[in-house]
Amino acid sequence: MEEILSFPLCPSSPIPKLPSRSQNSPRRRPPRPRFPAARAKLHAPVPPIAPIPKVHPSLPKIPLSSSSSSSSSSEEKLLFLDSLGVDLASGAAAAAVARAPIGEMRAAAAALVELGLGPGELRRSAGMCPEILAAAPETIAAAAAFLRREAGVPAAALPRVIRRRPRLLVSSVPGRLRPTLYFLQTLGISPISRHATLLSCSVEEKLLPRLEFLESAGFSRKEARAMARRFPQLMCYSIEGNLRPKLGFLLDAMGRSPVELREFPHYFSFGLDGRIRPRHIACEERGVRLPLPAMLRPGDERFRARLDVCVGSSPPMRSSPLWQQSLEQVYGDHDNSLLCLERGKWRFSTSDSLLLA
């Protein structure tokens, strides 16, 4: 073991000495390779990145000029509707013309002018039915052609019909106007041109329920249809707002028979509080009983004169020479009847003699 450790080193291979380095001297790093082109690009200034605008996913971009154009269009529409007298406060008017462009409204107004409507008639029609301003000109032309060709309305009378019922021009010809025309013809109403305003009424929702109400009041089917032929406008009146309260007043307060309505269905055209009730009270106070036409048709002055004649004088016979100078001159030819006493009350009678019960 000692022999191995004492083996002499070869003198020809001296051990190189490493240079001494102090503890505080920094360690040298190997030099880095230099790339001039890459170094220049690395230190070049980077342009700033533009910020990406945030857009709401559900709201599209609107150009800056659209707000001003929409406001001007709204003002133009408001001025146009105000010139026609359309009340924008009503819900029906707002719903009808809110989405209609001003161009379509002007086109509809031009179509109405072509039919012969003047400025006043146009304002009245637009006020009664604002939907007419949102109707297409083709729809208006189709309805007007139906009224002239199939309903027989003369061209000169067409503006008057439209003024009374402008909804005719926005009604569908195959869905509303033509079925109602056929139904009115089956009732025997003629001529249709005189009652063209009924053509916009629904057969199922308006006409049939009125006939059923008359049948429920005690009239037969034949009598109800006869009343509709005698007074076609009866089919337009509201059941709850007109027919039922007036029928109840006739039967209960006035104590009359429904038979009088069969002969005079025009009774439903007079106001209950404005004419029927006051005149019935006036007749009751004076003990006079008049038929419905004689009580309701004349004006106030003629009605008071009739009561004075009934109370203050004795009625002449039809054969009397005083007949033409008294009753017929006061009441007209349509009241060619005699005053009669029935149950202590003067009434008109179609007989030629006085009846005293």
Note the pLDDT tens digit of each residue in 289-326.
889 999 999 999 999 888 888 766 555 555 654 444 44
Q: How many domains does the chain have?
A: 2
pLDDT value at 166 more than 70: yes
Provide the residue range defining the domain that includes 96: 72-169
Assess if residue 52 is contained within a domain: no
Domain boundary pick from 147, 169, 191: 169
Helix (H) / strand (E) element for 141: namely helix 137-149
Peptide bond just before 174 cis, omega within 30 deg: no
Predicted confidence (pLDDT) per residue in 174-204, tens digit: 999 999 999 999 999 999 999 999 999 999 9
Who wins on pLDDT, 40 or 350? 40
Determine the pLDDT at residue 88. Answer: 60
Instruction: Please indicate, yes or no, if residue 191 is contained in any of the structural domains.
Output: no
Contact 107, 137 (CB under 8 A): yes
**Using only C-alpha atoms, what is the Rg of the chain?**
48
Residue 351 lies in a domain: yes
In this model, does residue 142 exceed pLDDT 50? yes
Which of 121, 136, 169 is at the close of a domain?
Answer: 169
* 152 domain-assigned: yes
Q: Is residue 288 part of a domain?
A: yes
Q: With CA atoms as reference, report the closest residue to 298 among 312, 316, 310, 314.
A: 310
d(CA 307, CA 250): 20
Are residues 195 and 232 in contact, defined by beta-carbon separation less than 8 angstroms? yes
Kindly indicate the confidence band of residue 60, based on its pLDDT and cuts at 50, 70 and 90.
Answer: very low
Answer yes or no: is 132 within a domain. Answer: yes
Domain final residue, candidates 169, 195, 210: 169
Residue 147 forms part of a structural domain? yes
